[in-house]
Amino acid sequence: MSPTSPDSLTIRRPDDWHVHLRDGAMLATVLPFTARQFARAIIMPNLADPVTTPEKAAAYRRRIVAHLPDEAPGDAFQPLMTCYLTDDTDPAQLEQGFLDGVFTAAKLYPAHATTGSAHGVTEPLALTAVYETMQILGMPLLVHGEVTDPAVDIFDREAVFIDGVLSKIVRDFPNLRVVLEHVTTRDGIDFVTSQSGPVGATITAHHLLLNRNALFEGGIRPHYYCLPVAKREEHRQALIAAATSGNEKFFLGTDTAPHPIGEKESACGCAGIFTAPAALALYAEAFEAAGALDKLEAFASLNGPKFYDLEVNQGTVTLERAETPVPERIDVPGVGAVHPFRGGANVAWKIKAT
Ligand code: DOR
Ligand code: ZN
């Protein structure tokens, strides 16, 4: 056991700052994986009926809490709700939802950028009254950072969004708290790093572990397809460097996004990678490969609460080195089954039972 590769690692209990829990039977199936590892999670609002009002968010939160397993360790799991922004979002209603403690943040999906974004914002630069209100409130704006112009190469959509949209929002609202969600490029890392204002980014485990070759390894690999799509190796290296740097602007957000296997393995497969079952172990693998396990706690447990201005969690979680199988498929009653990332193979760490 050396300081750089211990056989066990205890960190303060982490949070997941970007999660898709879905609804109904899917929610009931996937929620326990997130609740077991994380104390809190930012819940994405892109349901079939998007979470656009405080009433819908409060009702969704009740459905989540109703499905929580009894045995969640430590403090009970806390879902932090977000508002799905549309062209018609009413700033006064958004403000009320935030002040009432229903909304923690709001999510900007450029319309048609990704799964469940059909009701998203058609002109992100036009939402000035919403940004103004959020800036005054200190309410975080969570951004899916891709342009939707089909003429822009899919691998360039994040960089083009940063240049043409995000840099302008940040310039015009310098005190707005902004999270570039699931950053995938060196351009994104450089942009966030260079901001003196409250601009951060979440980084997924899959983007730390995969480059775009994974999508085509021996054939097309639908379970590695997500949006933003994985990029070249040089971009993955930039994500690793940022995540393991200790820089407080970067924190854990899995973007775990389950879809029924039939909707992934299809002529037009859905975007989304279901990492929740082994999420923390996957991050530990990526950090260990970079020789930076000692930086995992800041990334997973400290930087996010600091950005969101929340207390860090009480309690700890211990990862033990142990080859641990991930199920190949997990049944979702009445829906089918989901295939987790690394499903049918092992991860190198397991969470010690508490
Ligand atoms: O791959 C993705 N899946 N990216 C997103 O932005 C949405 C998510 C989903 O909801 O499936
Ligand atoms: Zn997402």
Residue nearest ligand 1's atom 10 by CA: 115
Question: Using CA positions, which residue lies closest to atom 7 of ligand 1?
Answer: 115
Q: How far is CA 267 from CA 129, 260, 270, 347, in A?
A: 41, 14, 10, 30
d(CA 6, CA 63): 40
Specify the pLDDT at position 1. Answer: 39
Taking the centre of ligand 1 as the mean of its atom positions, its distance from the CA of residue 51, in whole angstroms, is 15
Q: Give the count of beta carbons closer than 10 Å to the beta carbon of residue 184.
A: 30
Check 90, 153, 255, 309 and give the catalytic one: 255
> Is 16 annotated in the active site?
no
* Per-residue confidence (pLDDT) for residue 75, from 0 to 100: 53
Closest ligand to residue 202's CA: 2
Which residues, other chains included, contact 81 with Cβ-Cβ below 8 Å and sequence gap of 6+? 43, 45, 51, 57, 58, 60, 61, 102, 103, 104
Beta bridge partners of 43: 19, 81
| Ranges of the chain with pLDDT below 50 | 1-2, 72-74
**Ligand 2 center to residue 261 CA distance, Å?**
18
Cα-Cα-Cα-Cα dihedral sign, residues 156, 160, 162, 166: negative
Across 40-64, b (16+ Cβ under 10 Å) vs e yields: bbbbbbbbeebbbbbebbbebbeeb
Question: Do the Cβ atoms of 100 and 271 come closer than 8 Å?
Answer: no
Please tell me if the CB atom of residue 20 comes closer than 6 angstroms to any atom of ligand 1: yes
**pTM metric for this prediction:** 0.97
Residue whose CA lies nearest to ligand 1 atom number 8: 272
In this predicted structure, what is the pLDDT of residue 2?
A: 46
Cα 230 to Cα 146, 209, 213, 216, 236: the distances in Å are 13, 10, 8, 11, 8
Question: 337 CB contacts (<8 Å, ≥6 apart)?
Answer: 260, 261, 329, 330, 331
CA–CA–CA angle 151, 157, 162 (5° rounding): 125
Q: Ligand 1 in contact with 256 (CB < 6 A)?
A: no
Which residues are bridge partners to 317 per DSSP?
11
Domain 13-314 is classified in which CATH homologous superfamily?
Metal-dependent hydrolases (3.20.20.140)
